[in-house]
Structure 1
């Protein structure tokens, strides 16, 4: 039998140092008995960008090399790739400024005229900030006939509140429209309610004080609004998923297992279908991934050029632009 109280007994002077040391020893001994804390209580792995600022950066030199590459017969694509995929977003902006000063034309326009296909899409995407790129993708998903619900769901349901605020700002500046109005005009039913709740509602502020009662109430409410009853109270699900802070939701999903025979992902699949199912799954799995400190492994922008499938190239380009400076 392990004596867990040994380290907390007053066997040393009661100074702050010894109290802290005894507490640390107690936690270590406790973990040897019950194991480490669940993943949502552990410190998340630091999120490191896959593209970092280069040392000895010279935007004028880079701009001149890109200009020469564009003017080369047949276009020197490799030089353009080597430069733009190895510079941070801020450095690419400086290159664009120097290029416009030198060549008297916009770099994005020059790249659009010189490149084509997935390479053009990736290079033009890299010339935008993440929020600008997301705003462009959102606009493209709702522009013209039909709506690309998959892109719409991905952009709205997988972004944090801060990211959504930046996207809304860029959307307004780039297209002179409000993203909320466009979403309302292009979607309907429960999907529209969820997406609008996410872009309009301010989530609760994360707190250092864990409200276990509220966690339990929310977990029970999700269970009673779904698996426990016939039919699904979608309004309750939308309210909780769109209003609670991410750390709170992480704990709600863990607590949910106490009430339901299914985890949150299995419950969503049983209760809703179609675009709403995809939306809830994106919200649920995104929060659980963040809770456990998981992230996409290091991926360099040039990797997306290696796949032959056009759909895969488009998706990998979006992923790479999003995570390159996360």
Structure 2
């Protein structure tokens, strides 16, 4: 599997940059062209209020409307029934299926905020969730999720993170949570070479590692610049940057920096790998499966499907079909949007 990330040039050349694609372009969940909010509300009420819930209607509507259309539905639903749509979904469905529908009904920013709150709740922190969300989101997405986070918790995301994370990992996570990555699209090859050299000298070239140099470059530079830096790094050191990070670092910081490098090279490939791991072996990691399918459904699911097929020789659709069943499986297959 590691060799997937070895062939840098082909990934960099072929990879669509999800960081720059607009919602709807490469997603499977798209806006409905002849959208009629009152029809949808009537259908949803019938599905929820009737005897027994009609799951098919819920799945169909929530996987075939854009996020803004679903917000319009939620508002109209509340005006008509004086009830909160998401609460009615919760009251009417159970378990993983309920979590999936509720996430589909919420805005992406609210989902990210809720997932982060959950990851930091109670004793211990689920750093995998922090890494996945903060390493893969754009500045705009981070600003939006931070606003949603503050609204719910009455504290800023960075304030709460400071009590949860520490050391070099903490520094890197906080930098990402500020959403201050450089956004310029032009690449200066000389500057990229300089950064590659600085990384080489901070790691492979010396005894011990200067983590702060890695954190500064990987958490602040623009995505196009970092792509170039990663290619230059291979030329200078003969190794991929990912391999060097894995050799030089350990623990959570290693996990975070590797995730950033993967997202820089190909966000869809990063998420294809996440989905594969959530389903492989005994038992399924439904939380990750739900989170990734919902958060990428409107953004780059088509690209994730293509990468999945390339990497695992099986389609994402078939993998989901053989791994999960029932309404939950049906809904995930709808988000997946088809077989490859």
* TM-score, scaled relative to structure 2: 0.76
Match of residue 119 from structure 1: 97
Match of residue 224 from structure 1: 201
Report how far residue 162 of structure 1 moved: 2.0
* CA distance in structure 2 between the aligned counterparts of 1:77 and 1:271, rounded to whole angstroms: 50
Q: Are 2:248 and 1:271 aligned? A: yes
* CA distance in structure 1 between the aligned counterparts of 2:86 and 2:270, rounded to whole angstroms: 30
* CA distance in structure 2 between the aligned counterparts of 1:284 and 1:267, rounded to whole angstroms: 11
Q: 1:184 to 1:196 in 2, by over 3 A?
A: same
Q: Are 2:129 and 1:156 aligned? A: no
* CA distance in structure 1 between the aligned counterparts of 2:109 and 2:240, rounded to whole angstroms: 33
* TM-score, scaled relative to structure 1: 0.79
Greater C-alpha radius of gyration: 1
Report how far residue 119 of structure 1 moved: 1.0
Q: 1:281 to 1:53 in 2, by over 3 A?
A: same
Match of residue 291 from structure 2: 318
Q: Are 2:29 and 1:51 aligned? A: yes
* CA distance in structure 2 between the aligned counterparts of 1:40 and 1:150, rounded to whole angstroms: 25
* Aligned residue among 107, 124, 133 for 2:111: 133
* Aligned residue among 179, 188, 193 for 1:211: 188
> Which sits farther off after the overlay, 252-261 or 168-177?
168-177
* CA distance in structure 2 between the aligned counterparts of 1:201 and 1:315, rounded to whole angstroms: 23
Match of residue 248 from structure 1: 225
Q: 1:39 to 1:150 in 2, by over 3 A?
A: closer
Match of residue 233 from structure 1: 210
* CA distance in structure 2 between the aligned counterparts of 1:262 and 1:89, rounded to whole angstroms: 42
Checking the alignment, whether the CA contact within 8 Å between 1:220 and 1:259 is kept in structure 2 is yes
* Aligned residue among 154, 169, 175 for 1:197: 175
Report how far residue 161 of structure 1 moved: 1.9
Report how far residue 42 of structure 1 moved: 6.8
Checking the alignment, whether the CA contact within 8 Å between 1:171 and 1:179 is kept in structure 2 is yes
Checking the alignment, whether the CA contact within 8 Å between 2:271 and 2:292 is kept in structure 1 is no
Describe the superposition over 1:236-272 as per-residue Cα deviations: whole angstroms up to 9, x where unpaired: 1101111211110000000001221310111111011
Q: 1:271 to 1:88 in 2, by over 3 A?
A: same
Report how far residue 39 of structure 1 moved: 5.8
* CA distance in structure 1 between the aligned counterparts of 2:207 and 2:154, rounded to whole angstroms: 44
Checking the alignment, whether the CA contact within 8 Å between 1:183 and 1:196 is kept in structure 2 is yes
Checking the alignment, whether the CA contact within 8 Å between 1:44 and 1:294 is kept in structure 2 is no
Q: Are 2:235 and 1:262 aligned? A: no
Match of residue 148 from structure 2: 170
Describe the superposition over 1:16-56 as per-residue Cα deviations: whole angstroms up to 9, x where unpaired: xxxxxxxxxxxxxxxxxxxxx96646784765121111232
Describe the superposition over 1:263-297 as per-residue Cα deviations: whole angstroms up to 9, x where unpaired: 0111111011111111011000100115xx86868
Report how far residue 226 of structure 1 moved: 0.6
* CA distance in structure 1 between the aligned counterparts of 2:15 and 2:55, rounded to whole angstroms: 42
Report how far residue 125 of structure 1 moved: 0.6
In structure 2, the gaps of 5 or more residues are 1-8, 273-278, 300-340
Aligned Cα RMSD in Å?
A: 2.5
> Which sits farther off after the overlay, 158-167 or 196-205?
196-205
Report how far residue 127 of structure 1 moved: 1.4
Match of residue 25 from structure 1: none
Secondary structure of the structure 2 residue equivalent to 1:231: coil
